Structure 1
Amino acid sequence: MSKTKQPISLFSEWFQKELNLTKVQIPTAVCLSTIGIDNFPNARFVSFKEIINDSFILTGSLNSRKGIEIKNNDKVALTFWWTKTERQIRIQGIATEINKQLANKYFSERSKKSKAVSSICEQGKEIDNMERLEKQILRKVAEDKNIPRPKNWGGVSIKPLRIEFMEFKKTRFHDRKLFEFDNGEWNMKQIQP
C-alpha cells in the first residue's frame, strides 16, 4: 500500500485523538457482535483493552452468552463510534482466547468490587433475589484481601480481516475506506458514502 497508513496504525491514531477530546465516562466502549447459537446476531457493549500483535483485546466471562457464542463461532465484529471526532470503525475478524498470563494481568487491574462480581456472578443467568446477590458481593469485598481470577474469566484476541474507517461529513458525503487482509497484506479500497 503506497501513501496509505496501515489500518492498525490508523486505528491507533484515530483512537488517541478521540481519547484526547472525549469526556464520556467509558471512552473504550465498543460494540461486540457475535452469532448466537440460535443463529441470530447478538450485540453488546464491552470495554476494549488494547492492541497486541495487531489484534484487538477484550475481556470478560468466558461462560457468558458472548463467551459461549464465540466458542461456537469465532467470527465476530466490533463497532466503534466516536462522538467527538464523528468517526466510526467497523472490524470483522476471528476471535481466539487469550492465554492465562494475560488474563491474570487484566484481572489484577480490575477494582476489588469488579473482581468480586466476576467471581460470584454467572453473567446473564436468571436471578430471583438481586438484593441477596449484592450482599454476597459486598461480603466478599469486605472479607477477601485478594480475589483470584475465576477460571471462567478471561478474554479474546480478535485478529481483524476487514476494517472500515468512516469519517462523517455534514454534507453526508462520508469518507469511507475499507481495508481487507488478503495473502498476508492489507489492501485498501475507497468506498462510496
Structure 2
Amino acid sequence: MLLHFKRCNFTNTCNKIKLSMNPLNLFNTWYQEELNKSTVPLPSACCLSSIGSDGYPNSRFVSLKEVIDQKFVITGPIKSRKGVELLANPKAALTFWWTATERQVRVQGDAIQIENDLAKTYFSKRSKGAQIVSHISNQGEQTNDFSELVSTFEKEKINTVNSIIDKPKHWSGFYIVPKRIELMTFKKNRLHYRELYVKTNNKWSKFILQP
C-alpha cells in the first residue's frame, strides 16, 4: 500500500516538529565524522552559489574555513566575481557532498562580509604561494600573457622567502548566516532521509522531506 504525504511549502501548513537539537550542532557532528573518515585532499570543499548581475546563478567550489557563532565562513578576494556578487546581492547557498559518510548538506542564507581582523587571521594561515597569488592575481579577470603571471609569481617567491606577506586590501571573506539547512542521509535503496530546518523569528523548525 502506498503512503500519502502532505506537501510542505515551508509555511505553517506543515506540522512542525519541536527541535531538541540546533541543526548547526548536527552539521558540526557530521562534518567532523567526514573529516575523520575522508581520504580526499580537500574534505572542506563545498559549492558556493551566488546570484549574478544578469540574474543567473554562479557556482564554484570554495573551502569552508569553520563555523563561528552559527555562521559558515568562506574567504577570498572581494573584487572577484563571487565577492562582487555577494556584496551586490547578499544571498548565497552552500552545498556539501561528503563521499565517505554518504551525506549531503544544503544551506541557504545571507552573506555578510567578515571583519578585517578576522580576514587577516585567515590570510596569515594561507600557504606562501597562496598569499603571493592573492597579491599578483586579479581573480577571474582575463590575461593576455599567462607566462608573465608565472614569471611574476616566481620572482615574488624569491623576494618574499624570508618575509611576512600582509593581507591585500581586497582580500576578505563572508559569513553565510543560514536561514534554511537541509541534511540528507543517502540510502542505497534511494529512500534518502531528508531533514529540513527553517529559521523563523530566530527559532528553528524541522520538517521531514520525501526523498
- 1:19 aligns with 35
| CA shift for structure 1 position 83 | 0.5
Name the stretch that deviates more: 137-146 or 165-174: 137-146
Match of 1:166 among 177, 181, 184: 184
- 2:7 aligns with none
Within-5 A mapping of 1:38-187: 38-144=54-160, 145-187=163-205
> Which structure 1 residue ranges, 4+ long, deviate > 4 Å from structure 2?
none
| CA shift for structure 1 position 2 | 4.5
| CA shift for structure 1 position 5 | 2.1
| CA shift for structure 1 position 134 | 1.0
Q: Secondary structure at the match of 2:84?
A: helix
C-alpha root-mean-square deviation of aligned residues, in Å?
A: 1.0
Specify every segment of 5 or more residues in structure 2 that has no aligned partner in the other structure, as ranges. 1-16
| CA shift for structure 1 position 38 | 0.9
Q: Secondary structure at the match of 1:105?
A: helix
- 2:209 aligns with 191
Q: How many residues align?
A: 193
Using structure 1 for the length normalisation, give the TM-score: 0.98
Q: Secondary structure at the match of 2:55?
A: coil
Residue 38 of structure 2 contacts residue 100 of structure 2 at CA under 8 Å; is this kept in 1?
Answer: yes
| CA shift for structure 1 position 142 | 1.1
Distance 1:2 1:81 in 2: 27
| CA shift for structure 1 position 146 | 1.6
- 2:14 aligns with none
Q: Secondary structure at the match of 1:149?
A: coil
Q: Secondary structure at the match of 2:106?
A: strand
Distance 2:117 2:19 in 1: 38
Post-superposition CA distance 1:97-150 (Å, at most 9, x none): 000100000000011110000011000000111111011012112102121100
Distance 1:10 1:173 in 2: 20
Q: Which has more radius of gyration?
A: 2
Distance 1:189 1:3 in 2: 10
Distance 1:111 1:183 in 2: 41
Name the stretch that deviates more: 137-146 or 1-10: 1-10
- 1:5 aligns with 21
Specify every segment of 5 or more residues in structure 1 that has no aligned partner in the other structure, as ranges. none
Distance 2:78 2:136 in 1: 14
| CA shift for structure 1 position 14 | 0.3
Distance 1:4 1:83 in 2: 27
Distance 2:143 2:63 in 1: 24
